[in-house]
Structure 1
Amino acid sequence: MLERPDAVLTLIPLLAVSGLAARVLIATTGIATGLLAAPLAPVGYAAALVLVFVELLAWPLAERLGS
């Protein structure tokens, strides 16, 4: 059974790599220029960081409300 902490720990690296994967996909297809793809890499890292902060803030609150 997949618990919430396991899912969050799996999601963090997936989010971090997602920006790089989108950047590589755009660059290899040649549809967009490098200027369009450049800001996508930090977006994945920022999304992973936001997830960590949300979980750090929401997890204790959920445990307090549940008990």
Structure 2
Amino acid sequence: MLERPDAVLTLIPLLAVSGLAVRTLLAPGFGSGLFTTPLAAAGYLAALALVFLELLAWPVAQRLSGS
């Protein structure tokens, strides 16, 4: 059974690669560097946000506070 820590560890690389994957799919169709360039960083930022959210707001923070 897939538990929360496993899901979070699976989501981090998937989010990091998702921006590059979307950029690769859209670049040939639109061909606009101004449109596709921010998408590469979007995946990395989403993965970083997930890590910080997990550390600061969810089970890790609850375990550290003793709740």
1:35 shift after superposition: 1.2
Structure 2 portions without partners, runs of 5+: none
The percentage of counterpart residues that share the same residue type is 64
1:28-62 deviation per Cα after TM superposition (whole angstroms, max 9, x unaligned)? 2x224121000000010000000000111111344
Q: Which residue of 2 aligns with 1:15?
A: 15
Q: Which residue of 2 aligns with 1:55?
A: 54
- After superposition, the CA RMSD in angstroms is 1.4
Structure 1 portions without partners, runs of 5+: none
**Structure 2 letter corresponding to 1:38:** T
TM-score computed with the length of structure 1 as normaliser: 0.84
Q: Counterparts in 2 of 1:25-64, with a 5 A limit?
A: 25-28=25-28, 30-57=29-56, 58-63=58-63, 64=66
